[in-house]
């Protein structure tokens, strides 16, 4: 009887912990970590952005790229398809000085093919971003 009670407790704990292990979301997650009190201009499609970022793999936390390490912000035009879709969508409406954490599913990242030998196929990505400047055309 004591063995059965112990087995039952073990099974219940296993079920609880197994259900707690979540599958990463298939949707873009945008977390605003810092927003300046004054925001007079927000990003929109067609703006040229200067942005600092650090990219990591959600599964391991391993860093695969960082503009901070290079000491130069990355520049691109928002909404022009110059970057992964997760960035084009996740950086809309940001203010200069704003910091965001983007958790990007493979469908909005590098998909099944991965990228550059550092990003495996079907990887969920995490980018910590800081908007340095908006150049409006």
Mean of the pLDDT values across residues 56-66?
A: 98
For the segment 11-39, what is each residue's pLDDT rounded down to a tens digit? 454 544 544 456 889 999 999 999 999 99
Tokens of 61: 């936390």
Percent of the chain residues past pLDDT 90, beyond the cut: 81
Closest CA to 94 of 127, 131, 68, 129: 131
Tokens 């469908």 belong to 107
Q: Look at the domain 29-135 and name its fold.
A: Chitinase A; domain 3 (3.10.50)
Mean of the pLDDT values across residues 80-95?
A: 98
The pLDDT, as a whole number, for residue 19 is 46
The pTM (predicted TM-score) of the whole model is 0.83
**How many angstroms separate the CA atoms of 43 and 7, rounded?**
57
The pLDDT, as a whole number, for residue 93 is 98
Mean of the pLDDT values across residues 47-54?
A: 99
pLDDT band at 137 (very low <50, low <70, confident <90, very high): confident
R_g of the chain computed on alpha carbons: 20
Mean of the pLDDT values across residues 45-65?
A: 98
Tokens of 100: 């965001």
Cite the active site residues.
53, 64-65, 84, 110, 127
């Amino acid at each position: 009887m004591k063995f059965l009670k112990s087995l039952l407790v073990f099974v219940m704990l296993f079920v609880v912990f197994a259900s707690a292990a979540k599958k990463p979301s298939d949707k873009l997650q945008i977390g605003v970590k810092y927003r300046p009190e004054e925001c007079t201009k927000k990003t929109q499609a067609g703006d040229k952005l200067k942005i600092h970022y650090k990219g990591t793999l959600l599964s391991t936390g391993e860093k695969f790229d960082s503009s901070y390490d290079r000491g130069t912000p990355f520049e691109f035009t928002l909404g022009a398809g110059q970057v992964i879709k997760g960035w084009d969508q996740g950086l809309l409406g940001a203010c200069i000085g704003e910091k965001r954490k983007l958790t990007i599913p493979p469908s909005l990242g590098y998909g099944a093919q991965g990228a550059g030998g550092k990003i495996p196929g079907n990887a969920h990505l995490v980018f910590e971003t800081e908007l340095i400047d908006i150049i409006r055309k």
